[in-house]
């Protein structure tokens, strides 16, 4: 049997559909965010990263790096096994307390990634609720979709951020049926925000539980970095808050936070928690340092918003097709997978600017884009250079510009 034939056929299919992915070989330079070395086929080159989800540059913050090095030096590297086998190490206990406090909840539970926390968190919760109906936003992340699928219970999809549709489904389900509403607070490809207050109103009125993914908001929104729910004053009304340590907190890992009973039940039943090695102590200490810092420092959040607003303004004024976004995400519409990839390659090779192309299945076909994520450390000069490079690329690829006059208005 020629097994490699199966793999080659699968890869050929991706090439044919024009969505085969290539990753650049990058090495970030600590203390010089967003600068990095690109190990290109022609040798190392300096580049500027414009698409990192280390949104606030905390992955290079001296307090965070210091905590990681100090803990690794003191206690070593790995966790030594699953928590069922090897027990719970102290930095993990401290991190869970920090996260519960961040979200104003009784408890939190850590997983090895945000992906795992959604996948095993949603599926375990729904399995523990007899006859549960999951109501899931149409644009939920793949990790949530997998969690819903693995729950094995009935699910219904409501139109993206459409509270009227959600209400219809809640009414149709009836008051006696247990219901779990699952959505994100900030959708990372379009940069739009869920109407969390209205979703909480509906959940309370129709007796549903709420599960909100704050992966693209924790650290960045709310007075202490608790996310959109904190910013909107509804954190206490949401039953389960899920987040990552891998984006604004600059580390790795995911978590859910909520009532002590809910967390204890997930801890006791979730396969994605029970059967996998815990996060290493050094990662936990680093994440705790990042969360603590962002609870009291607003500089990063304010500067982040300022840089995102400036980037949008400069690109808009240049006539570039910035898609409207209420948040720090700056999506630039391309609408063609090949041109999107070409634009990304040209930016990297000719201008030393790294922006990954975003193609199907991450976004719908025909809505391919460059997803730009300015950080607090993208200075004015870098933003200007980005606009100039994009204009050159747009012209070379024959991509349409918006009427500059209109864009400036």
Q: How far is the CB of 288 from ligand PLP (least distance, A)?
A: 16
The tokens for 269 are 């039943």
Closest CB to ligand PLP among 58 and 246? 246
216 or 304: CB nearest ligand PLP: 216
- Nearer CB in complex with ligand PLP: 215/399: 215
Q: Report whether 286 contacts 152 (CB < 8 A).
A: no
Q: Which of residues 110, 183, 202, 246 is near ligand PLP by CB under 6 A?
A: 246
Choosing from 40, 82, 94, 113, the residue that interacts with ligand PLP (CB under 6 A) is 113
In this chain, which of 108, 136, 244, 356 binds ligand PLP, going by CB under 6 A? 244
Options 213, 230, 232, 239; binder of ligand PLP; rule CB under 6 A:
213
| Interacting span for ligand PLP (CB under 6 A) from 102-110, 112-120, 191-199, 274-282 | 112-120
Q: Which residue is nearest to ligand PLP (CB)?
A: 114
Contact mark string toward ligand PLP, 252..271, x via CB under 6 A: --x-----------------
**Which is nearer to ligand PLP, 41 or 361 (by Cβ)?**
361
Q: Does 240 bind ligand PLP (CB under 6 A)?
A: no
- Clarify whether 341 is annotated catalytic: no
Q: Applying CB under 6 A, does 356 fall inside the site for ligand PLP?
A: no
Compute the distance between CA of residue 330 and CA of residue 113 in angstroms, rounded to an integer: 25
Is there binding between residue 118 and ligand PLP (CB under 6 A)? yes
Interacting residue with ligand PLP among 119, 188, 311, 373 (CB under 6 A): 188
Interface with ligand PLP (CB under 6 A), residue from 33, 38, 50, 115: 115
Tell the smallest beta-carbon distance from residue 242 to ligand PLP (Å).
7
Q: Any contact of residue 114 with ligand PLP (CB under 6 A)? A: yes
Q: Which of 247, 312, 339, 404 is catalytic?
A: 247
Q: What is the gyration radius of the CA atoms in the chain, in angstroms? A: 22
Contact present, 192 and 264 (Cβ < 8 Å): no
Closer to ligand PLP at the Cβ: 132 or 218?
A: 218
Over the chain, what HEC string results? CCHHHHHHHHHHHHHHCCCCCCCCCEEECCCCCCEEEEEECCEEEEEEECCCCCCCCHHHCHHHHHHHHHHHHHHCCCCCCCHHHHCCCHHHHHHHHHHHHHHCCCEEEEECCHHHHHHHHHHHHHHHCCCCEEEEECCCCHHHHHHHHHHCCEEEEECCCCHHHHHHHHHHHCCCCCEEEEEECEECCCCEECCHHHHHHHHHHHCEEEEEECCCCCCCCCCCCCCHHHHCCCHHHCCEEEEECCCCCCCCCEEEEECHHHHHHHHHHCHHHHCCCCCCHHHHHHHHHHHHHHHHCCHHHHHHHHHHHHHHHHHHHCCCCECCCCCCCEEEECCCHHHHHHHHHHHHHHHCEECCEECCCCCCCCCCEEEECCCCCCCHHHHHHHHHHHHHHHHHHCCCCCCHHHHHC
Q: Pick between residue 119 and residue 316 the one whose CB is nearest to ligand PLP.
A: 119
Residues 130-149 that bind ligand PLP (CB under 6 A): 141, 143
Nearer to ligand PLP, 113 or 276 (CB): 113
Neighbours of 14 (CB within 10 A): 11
Residue 184 binds ligand PLP (CB under 6 A): yes
213 or 230: CB nearest ligand PLP? 213
Residues in contact with ligand PLP, counted by CB under 6 A, come to a total of 14
Evaluated on CA atoms 7, 11, 12, 16, the torsion sign reads positive
> Least distance in Å: CB of 2 to ligand PLP?
35
Two tokens at 315? Answer: 């690109």
Closest contact distance (angstroms) between CB of 245 and ligand PLP is 7
Query: CB 308 → ligand PLP: shortest distance, Å?
Result: 17
Residues binding ligand PLP (CB under 6 A)? 113-115, 118, 141, 143, 184, 188, 213, 215-216, 244, 246, 254
Residues known to be catalytic: 247
């Amino acid at each position: 049997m020629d097994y490699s034939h199966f793999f080659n056929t699968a890869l050929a299919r991706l090439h044919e559909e024009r969505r085969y992915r290539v990753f650049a070989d990058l090495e970030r330079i600590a203390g010089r965010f967003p600068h990095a070395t690109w190990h290109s086929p022609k040798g190392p080159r300096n580049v500027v990263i414009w698409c990192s989800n280390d949104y606030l540059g905390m992955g290079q913050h001296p307090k965070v790096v210091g905590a990681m090095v100090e803990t690794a030096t003191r206690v070593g590297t790995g966790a030594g096994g699953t928590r069922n086998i090897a027990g719970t190490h102290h930095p993990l206990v401290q991190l869970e307390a920090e996260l519960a406090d961040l979200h104003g909840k009784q408890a939190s539970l850590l997983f090895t990634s945000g992906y795992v926390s959604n996948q095993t968190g949603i599926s375990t919760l729904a399995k523990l609720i007899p006859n549960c109906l999951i109501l899931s936003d149409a644009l939920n992340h793949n990790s949530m979709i997998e969690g819903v699928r693995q729950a094995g219970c009935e699910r219904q999809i409501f139109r993206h951020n459409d509270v009227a549709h959600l209400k219809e489904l809640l009414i149709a389900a009836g008051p006696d049926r247990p219901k779990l509403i699952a959505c994100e607070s900030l959708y990372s490809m379009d940069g739009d925000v869920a109407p969390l207050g209205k979703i909480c109103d509906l959940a309370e009125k129709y007796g549903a539980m709420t599960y909100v993914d704050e992966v693209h908001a924790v650290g960045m929104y709310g007075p202490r970095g608790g996310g959109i729910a904190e910013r909107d004053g509804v954190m206490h009304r949401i039953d389960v808050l899920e987040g990552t340590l891998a984006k604004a907190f600059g580390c790795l890992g995911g978590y859910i936070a909520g009532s002590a009973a809910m967390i204890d039940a997930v801890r006791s039943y979730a396969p994605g928690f029970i059967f996998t090695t815990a996060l290493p102590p050094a990662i936990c200490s680093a994440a705790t340092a990042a969360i603590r810092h962002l609870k009291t420092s607003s500089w990063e959040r304010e500067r982040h918003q300022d840089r995102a607003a400036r980037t949008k303004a400069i690109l808009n004024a240049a006539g570039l097709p910035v898609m409207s976004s209420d948040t720090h995400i700056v999506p630039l519409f391309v609408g063609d997978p090949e041109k999107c990839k070409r634009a990304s390659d040209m930016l990297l090779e000719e201008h030393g600017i790294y922006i990954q192309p975003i193609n199907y299945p991450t976004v719908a076909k025909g809505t391919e884009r460059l997803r730009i994520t300015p950080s607090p450390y993208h200075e004015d000069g870098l933003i200007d250079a980005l606009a100039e490079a994009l204009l050159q690329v747009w012209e070379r690829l024959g991509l349409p510009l918006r009427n500059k006059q209109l864009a400036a208005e």
